[in-house]
Structure 1
Amino acid sequence: MSGTLHVVGVRHHSPACARLVEAVLARIDPAVVLIEGPSDWNVKMAELARGHTPPIAIFTHYLTEDGPASSFTPFCAFSPEWVALRWAFAHGKTVRFCDLPSWSKAFVGVQNRYRDEDDRYERAIEALCRRTGTSDLDALWDHLFEGRSPEELEPALEAYFQQIRGDAEAGERDAPREAFMRDYASWALTRGDVVLVCGGYHAPALASITPGGPEPVSPTPPLGGQSHLVPWTYARMDAFAGYQAGMPSPMWWELEWNLGAGVAEAMLDRSLEALRKNTQRPTVADHIAVRTGIGALAALRGHETPKRVDVLDGLLSALIREPLPGPPPWSRRGIVTGDLHPTLATLLRTFTGDRVGRLSAETERPPLLREVHETLDRLGLSPPRNPQTVSLDWRIEGDRERLRVLHRLRLLEIPGFVRLHGPAWGTDARMAEAFKLVWRPDQDPAIIEASRWGSTLEGAVSLLLSHRLLAAESLAARVDALGDAAFVGLTKLAGEILDLVANAVATTPSFSALGPAIEKLLGLWRHGEWLEVVGAPLFSPVLRAAGERSLSLLAGIQGTDLLPADLTAMRSLAELLRHGEALDLPPDDTRAVLARRVADRAAPAMLRGAALGAIWYLDTEAAPVDSAIDGALSASSEGRLGDYLAGLFALARGPALRDDRLIGAVDAALGKLDDNAFLVALPALRLAFSWFPPGERARIGALLAARWGKRPDASWIGDVPADVLQSGLVLDARVLSWGRALGVLE
């Protein structure tokens, strides 16, 4: 027995199309209902028949050469596809999704199956917009079709989709999809009458089909290919947030689906109430102006009842009196970016709605979701409805397991698990952490979506970090991945990451880039006991390579200036060299490199000072104070005294405090500078002495006071002649003015 095929071309998430589908199904009473959707889900179709509350979505994920990929097939109460599904379930009809799975080549790069692909018929849409005086596809669709009866809509849509498709052949993406749909329709026709619900662009290509053939087999899923149901939200569905599958302002369309012509009044009431709650209180006059404006705009545009843009434009014109930087978001398609006027932002949120879908309690849960819930329950970390702060300590065995789980959820970006504070790396003395836990409606969907990384919590985080490593181009990114691997307890992966870090260290062309990496690696190696990586043998080769590479790059630095990042790297290198013996770094070789830099007058003054400071840092008796005095005097003759001291004191402050000859030499050199030379040297001098904490600065002040024959407190200032104090105030004013002009002072 063969039947008749009835193709219903629709726009996804259109209430008018949903009503049309409902009417056609009631009129035809088909034996089979075919719906554009992922055919791999057909074996789990009974899952969709459960008592879900839309919006919900089919979430599909799979692995590619570039990492995990995913796609969504979303449904809301007013989606034509959802209406077709519910009708088929209610009437005991055979129902199938008749499109290729989301992992097929036709969907490469597509995150939302039910997106509007208006780029395929852009010219036709632009022509229709010009003829109707509408701004974009959304306004055009609303103007032409929403609110019409199914009897009026069916021929109008047929003509519309025929016009936008025209004589165009299916492209590379559409051809295999439409061929698969035709095969499904051919099979279904052998069972009786068929209603096929699909995107309107495909409808003209499915008009004439001959019955026959077996039911098509959905292509085999690739590695990691799975599909699950997830709750969805209007916030994620709204086109203004980037979802290009159809209708913006989903709350408007929900009300239109439920209330029909009463949607404008209901949406207006919601908008005014939302404004009142946000302290943007419309007056009685505003209410009158809004209603008058909406009615006038609807009449001017030929609408029997106000459309969405009529209500939005009416609210805008009556309530926002300030000029806007551009046209309102609903006048064009695309994501809303930038700051919005508060009233405009409230209106858009209200039109979007806060609807969150809910899955039936009997819905099959993916393995990752089950594991996360079981683990959180076992560890006492299940998020409560009201925010709760949990304080944990890495030194406590039970807390360590809890912290690793929380860090795994953090890396997977699961909402409701917010890290408030804690150690960044092993160098941090704090071993306590605090997380804020709170239940959120988007929590389970996020966990389900994290399944694209793996079906277990450890596996998902491991693949995520591995993917980050593949994409990491910098040494810093690889070291950060190593730190995350340590926090989540993936020591095996940490070893693999270290190999990549070692390769990056060996090829890094920048001395400054090695500084942060050395600091973090050394911190984990020395202090990461609570992360169970302290003293790990696998760190030693990487740290040794970092030391050798740093010394090699240090030997080649020339010029007059040293970047602040280079000075930071110098400090990290000195700390690393303190452990040179444990890392098999020959001390004589490292000291020779530093000594050559100290003696090299072609090297930046700050580098010369830092190299001497590093020698002192490694061995306080390795160089006499006279060498620092000679270096300071040489730098002063170059006009670089401040630079030299900044480098020296960044690495070693002790000699300046133990022997007043260095401070005396600096004081004498500064006394020979004229005002302009002093002003030039001042920023670097400020940096140099900023390395001393307040107590040590007080000791330096006492040394200077003794040198000047003054008392080591502030009482002697009263003995200074007034003209000297006045000169000092003038100089201070010049310094401040100069700093503001350069933008270094506010």
Structure 2
Amino acid sequence: MPERFYGVRHHGPGSARAVVAALAEQRPDVLLVEGPPEADALVKWVADERLVPPVALLGYVADDPRQAAYWPFAVFSPEWQAIRWATAHDVPVRFFDLPYAYRLGREDEPADRPERPADPIGELAAAAGYDDPERWWEDVVEHRGAPAFEAIGEAMAAIRAESAEDPNDLVREAHMRGVLREVRKTHANLAVVCGAWHVPALTAKVSAAHDTALLKGRKKTKVTFTWVPWTYGRLASWQGYGAGVRSPGWYHHLFTTPDEVVTRWLVAAAGVLRDEGVPTSSAHVIEAVRLAEALAILRARPLAGLAELTEATRAVLCEGDELRVELIGRRLVVSERLGAVPDDMPAVPLARDLAAQQRTLRLKAEALERVLDLDLRREIDLGRSRLLHRLRLLRVPWGEPGDNYRGKGTFRESWRLRWLPEFAISLVEAGGYGTTVAGAATAKVTEDARAAETLAEVTPLVEVCLLADLPEAYPAVLHALDTRAALDADVAHLMGAVPPLARTLRYGDVRGTDVTSLVEVTNGLVVRVCVGLPGAVTSLADEAAGALRDLVDAVHAALAMLDDPALRDRWLEALGGLAGSDRTHPLIAGRVTRLLYDAGRLDADETRRRMGLVLTAGTPPSDAAHWIEGFLAGGGLLLVHDTALLSLVDQWLAGVAADSFTDVLPLLRRTFGTFAEPERRSIGERVRGGVTAAEPAAFALDDERAAAVLPTLAVLLGREIHHG
């Protein structure tokens, strides 16, 4: 039987069925498939039931894993089904595309090379009067059984005759023809499965000398190949001619559903909605099936396609709700099905170690995002936490901290998990640091610590060592921390280093980590902050003062976590000096006054006295507003309970000159706008009640003057105030 060429659409279920049927009829002696020949040794794995598509061949440069490429396969890919048939019938299989090793490092390729049509199938669809290539392919191939391979080849030849040739294609096809010549010497009955675009070039009569000239001068790069899991989401978004389809979930359904394609699809769509709590009955499904089939008849289609099913879903199941349509599109039309590879698949040692830990920790890689809540008091959850933190260090962000992430401060952690195919490359790249996840993470942190040039770069690594449990990295990190801290005289940098160190000291016991070596470093930093803080708070612009105020809050909160009264006293003494200095920026002066009051270092009378000194006619309104902003940053509950303080603010506000009021209004609105709604309501009720002094009996309310203030208070509090 003569050789046969099966020109297919990559990832076309109709092509996949037709190829299998044709191979069963031809019974070839050898099968040639478009793909990288370096992966020939991996063909045998296709027969292994543990290799579950979607999967991809991953090729990368051994010395530079960042240079990598993928060849994805779905269960409905014609190439996959052809290889499956061949391995089941003991037919030798060879990939016969240009070796990936020859495609790398080519500097002589023309930058302005002509491009082939973006999608030859689209050209054919347009010629047939279709505006959607996938819809045309469904009508003429997917819903009609077997494609006419000869007719498709002729159509491609016609398109190529009118299109500019891509030099890359010419080189690839020259190599393919060379392999064909070689195989013909030993086999007469051979089958070729390749993209339909290449069939005219492979069947053309071209001399061996011509092809040799095209391939001359190419150097080979050392590359490595393996199988890796893939997802339908990545298949849908994959770039390049013939490499992706918009609806892989739909094509999977077409290929794997033997009958009742329309009904089963709409039943699945109803299931997606039910999973989200949307009531969807059998009557909905029945009506949707009728509508989809009616649309197909009106449009003279052999079977309701995805367009008709989507319209029926939108109208009947989703009742016009586009969000529900998008949900079905994401879950069903595209799908996030994730493939699987055998545990003993050839891979870098780091990937094998990760796979072993995933089994031990019962942490399955999934393509759909899911939330994982951990209790760090459980050994298995602690292990999961450490693994996820280590992978983030290695730039494999399988897990991202959730919105309610509290892992550094409590026994609870929340993560959002989602495995992406490109993490396979990240593992290859990280494999240079070690053969295990723990070893590689330790080496990465050590390298980062030694390369850190500033204190801000090295400080987070201390906390990282805690979260990821990397005790062997501590010596290098602490040495770098000590060195950078000694050389850094910027108080803001020193203050920024204190919170992560304090968290490490406070919560090391939660994770079973010895952190005693950090005590001396942390104490030294806090002392240096206390000494340098007075000079850092003077002559500040408003924006810089705001940044320093945030640092003061962070250090104050961090020291509250430590069981070190002497260190905390030292800090509060430094804050007391700032509060009493007229050189301190008013925003910071107000903030430290509030911190001292909350810490019991200032009583209520002294606090009122200090506020009274600030809120006088001699103080510029903008300075007073900044002081108020800093003081009330802790919330408005203090004004609710201390009517004397509320009275001081009220009296000062009433005395602000009209020409200054517009300048301070944004600051005050920002301050009062941070209050919780119940706090603003209580303050408003107190103002409306006319009692804002500590001694109500001694305070005479002028109704007319009070009414004049109410509109301004309404603006500040963000709520309407009624005077009655």
Q: 1:566 aligns with which of 536, 540, 548?
A: 548
SS at match of 1:294: helix
Residue of structure 1 in register with 2:427 after alignment: 451
Residue of structure 1 in register with 2:41 after alignment: 43
Q: 1:498 to 1:238 in 2, by over 3 A?
A: farther
Residue of structure 2 in register with 1:702 after alignment: none
1:195 aligns with 2:191: yes
Q: 1:641 aligns with which of 606, 619, 624?
A: 624
**Cα distance per residue 1:192-216 (max 9 Å; x no partner):** 13323222333333334668999x9
Residue of structure 2 in register with 1:97 after alignment: 95
1:490 aligns with 2:470: yes
Q: 1:606 aligns with which of 577, 587, 590?
A: 587
- 1:58–1:72 Cα contact (<8 Å) kept: yes
Residue of structure 2 in register with 1:205 after alignment: 201
Matches within 5 A, 1:185-584: 185-193=180-188, 194-207=190-203, 208=205, 220-221=221-222, 225=224, 227-230=226-229, 232-234=230-232, 236-239=234-237, 245-258=243-256, 263-272=261-270, 279-281=278-280, 284=283, 287-288=286-287, 290-292=289-291, 294-300=293-299, 302-317=300-315, 322=320, 340-346=322-328, 349-352=331-334, 357=339, 359=341, 367-368=349-350, 370-372=352-354, 374-375=356-357, 391-393=375-377, 404-405=386-387, 407-408=389-390, 412-414=396-398, 424-425=407-408, 428=409, 430=410, 432-433=411-412, 451-452=427-428, 453-454=430-431, 455-461=435-441, 480=460, 483-490=463-470, 516-521=496-501, 523-524=503-504, 528=508, 531-536=513-518, 554=536, 557-559=539-541, 564-572=546-554
CA distance in structure 1 between the partners assigned to 2:81 and 2:219 by the alignment: 23
Residue of structure 2 in register with 1:700 after alignment: none
- 2:45–2:51 Cα contact (<8 Å) kept: no
- 1:228–1:366 Cα contact (<8 Å) kept: no
CA distance in structure 2 between the partners assigned to 1:556 and 1:730 by the alignment: 38
Residue of structure 1 in register with 2:8 after alignment: 10
- 2:612–2:648 Cα contact (<8 Å) kept: no
1:135 aligns with 2:131: yes
Could you state the TM-score of these two structures normalised by the residue count of structure 2?
0.67
How far did 1:252 drift?
A: 3.4
How far did 1:121 drift?
A: 1.2
Tell me the amino acid that sits aligned with residue 9 of structure 1: G
SS at match of 1:60: strand
| Higher mean C-alpha displacement, 357-366 vs 27-36 | 357-366
- 1:293–1:314 Cα contact (<8 Å) kept: yes
How far did 1:84 drift?
A: 1.6
How far did 1:85 drift?
A: 0.8
Q: 1:507 to 1:121 in 2, by over 3 A?
A: farther
How far did 1:320 drift?
A: 5.5
CA distance in structure 1 between the partners assigned to 2:649 and 2:315 by the alignment: 70
1:147 aligns with 2:153: no
How far did 1:321 drift?
A: 5.3
Could you state the TM-score of these two structures normalised by the residue count of structure 1?
0.66
CA distance in structure 2 between the partners assigned to 1:161 and 1:262 by the alignment: 37
Tell me the amino acid that sits aligned with residue 138 of structure 2: D
Q: 1:503 to 1:683 in 2, by over 3 A?
A: farther
CA distance in structure 2 between the partners assigned to 1:40 and 1:218 by the alignment: 15
SS at match of 2:262: helix
Q: 1:106 to 1:205 in 2, by over 3 A?
A: farther
Q: 1:575 to 1:362 in 2, by over 3 A?
A: closer
Structure 1: where are the runs of 5+ without partners? 109-117, 325-339, 580-586, 657-662, 698-704, 711-715
Structure 2: where are the runs of 5+ without partners? 107-113, 563-569, 684-690
How far did 1:306 drift?
A: 3.0
CA distance in structure 1 between the partners assigned to 2:200 and 2:478 by the alignment: 57
Q: 2:176 aligns with which of 161, 178, 181?
A: 181
Tell me the amino acid that sits aligned with residue 736 of structure 1: A
CA distance in structure 2 between the partners assigned to 1:377 and 1:675 by the alignment: 70
SS at match of 1:121: coil
CA distance in structure 1 between the partners assigned to 2:88 and 2:358 by the alignment: 38
Q: 1:244 to 1:478 in 2, by over 3 A?
A: farther
How many pairs are equivalent?
660
Tell me the amino acid that sits aligned with residue 227 of structure 1: T
Tell me the amino acid that sits aligned with residue 376 of structure 2: L
- 1:35–1:97 Cα contact (<8 Å) kept: yes
Residue of structure 2 in register with 1:584 after alignment: none
- 1:366–1:448 Cα contact (<8 Å) kept: no
SS at match of 1:636: coil
CA distance in structure 1 between the partners assigned to 2:523 and 2:103 by the alignment: 44
**Cα distance per residue 1:706-734 (max 9 Å; x no partner):** x9784xxxxx57x866x558966874564
How far did 1:307 drift?
A: 3.0
SS at match of 1:168: coil
SS at match of 1:13: coil
1:170 aligns with 2:166: yes
| Higher mean C-alpha displacement, 36-45 vs 525-534 | 525-534
How far did 1:44 drift?
A: 3.1
SS at match of 1:567: helix
**Cα distance per residue 1:494-534 (max 9 Å; x no partner):** 67678999999999999978765543245446875754445
| Higher mean C-alpha displacement, 545-554 vs 518-527 | 545-554
| Higher mean C-alpha displacement, 522-531 vs 471-480 | 471-480
Q: 1:179 to 1:152 in 2, by over 3 A?
A: closer
SS at match of 1:303: coil
CA distance in structure 2 between the partners assigned to 1:401 and 1:261 by the alignment: 46
Matches within 5 A, 1:647-662: 647=630
Tell me the amino acid that sits aligned with residue 735 of structure 1: L
- 2:117–2:163 Cα contact (<8 Å) kept: no
Q: 1:178 to 1:372 in 2, by over 3 A?
A: same
CA distance in structure 2 between the partners assigned to 1:264 and 1:667 by the alignment: 73
Q: 1:262 to 1:375 in 2, by over 3 A?
A: closer
The alignment-based identity, stated in percent, is 21
How far did 1:74 drift?
A: 2.9
Q: 1:634 to 1:190 in 2, by over 3 A?
A: farther
How far did 1:164 drift?
A: 5.2
Tell me the amino acid that sits aligned with residue 190 of structure 1: K
Q: 1:178 to 1:497 in 2, by over 3 A?
A: farther
SS at match of 2:34: strand
- 1:280–1:343 Cα contact (<8 Å) kept: no
CA distance in structure 1 between the partners assigned to 2:139 and 2:541 by the alignment: 69
Tell me the amino acid that sits aligned with residue 468 of structure 2: V
How far did 1:82 drift?
A: 1.2
Tell me the amino acid that sits aligned with residue 198 of structure 2: H
1:81 aligns with 2:57: no
CA distance in structure 2 between the partners assigned to 1:445 and 1:14 by the alignment: 21
Q: 2:117 aligns with which of 117, 121, 146?
A: 121
CA distance in structure 1 between the partners assigned to 2:187 and 2:673 by the alignment: 86
Q: 1:611 to 1:93 in 2, by over 3 A?
A: same
**Cα distance per residue 1:546-601 (max 9 Å; x no partner):** 9599869946854456664331124457899999xxxxxxx9xx989x8899555x
Q: 1:140 to 1:476 in 2, by over 3 A?
A: farther
CA distance in structure 2 between the partners assigned to 1:469 and 1:242 by the alignment: 41
1:736 aligns with 2:710: no
Q: 1:635 to 1:9 in 2, by over 3 A?
A: farther
